Amino acid sequence: MIIYSRQSLLPVFYDQKSIPRPHIINRAIRRQPLHAVQGLKNEVITLEHFLEQLKFHPVEKIEYDLMHIDKPPDRGSTAPSGLVLRSPSYNDMDALAALQAGYEQEEVLTKSAVFNPAASRMNTEKIFNQEQVLTAELNGRLVGKINTSAVSFSFFQLGGVYVHPEFRGRGIASRMTGEFVSSLIAQGKAVSLFVKKSNPAAITVYRRLGFEFIADYRISYY
């Protein structure tokens, strides 16, 4: 099965290696632009090879660990004195947008992409209105954020985990993530996330909290 969503192809092979008949893929990629192929690494590679026969070649490939946790994490990590974890209000929108902009520029945009401040602001407002969000405040300043980015019958997906560079290495991300994940699990669902393999510091934080590796994930941009 090939799922087409937001200019991305998501292959689902169900442990098989056969490619759908060519007209299935042609129908998906000839009518709309192809931006990315994403999914379990081995399945993405299989589809990449097929797309190369159609003269589609990725310009960038990013590898992720897909991780999950289904029990409350250890929230005993040290954090700065005076750190306040709270839900944001609309009065925090400018500060929240600044953190989201930093997250997008560091973690989301591809090498060839150009940051769009207006689009980022719209995305921040969408997250504020539609997702669950937790912020970290220190001495009256928002220095970190975390939010859900999707939800299924059994999982919340984490996204937008970001701490301002000036405040990293002080346990803020660990404390913020632990509190947020605990609140999500209390709602009766497990939690999953994608973390870049090129970000070992984040992987270490998630492992210490109790996240377990599920699979290799890959996004190939076209």
**How confident is the prediction along the chain (222 residues), in pLDDT tens digits per residue?**
878 888 888 888 877 777 767 677 777 777 778 899 999 999 999 899 989 988 899 999 999 999 999 999 976 568 899 999 999 999 999 999 999 999 999 999 988 889 999 999 999 999 999 999 999 999 999 999 999 999 999 999 999 999 999 999 999 999 999 999 999 999 999 999 999 999 999 999 999 999 999 999 999 999
40, 58, 76: which is the final residue of a domain? Answer: 58
The CATH number of the domain holding residue 158 is 3.40.630.30
Q: Evaluate whether residue 204 is within a structural domain.
A: yes
Same domain for 97 and 10, yes or no, is no
Same domain for 46 and 84, yes or no, is no
Question: Of the candidates 66, 133, 52, 57, which has an alpha carbon nearest to the alpha carbon of residue 95?
Answer: 133
Q: Sign of dihedral through CA atoms 145, 150, 153, 154?
A: negative
Residue 31 backbone phi and psi in degrees, to 5: -85, -30
Q: Evaluate whether residue 63 is within a structural domain.
A: no
Domain carrying residue 195: 68-215
The total domain count for the chain is: 2
Same domain for 102 and 162, yes or no, is yes
Contacts of 165 (CB under 8 A, 6+ apart): 102
Quote the pLDDT of residue 159. 94
Question: Of the candidates 40, 65, 37, which has an alpha carbon nearest to the alpha carbon of residue 195?
Answer: 65
Contacts of 204 (CB under 8 A, 6+ apart): none
Quote the pLDDT of residue 76. 59
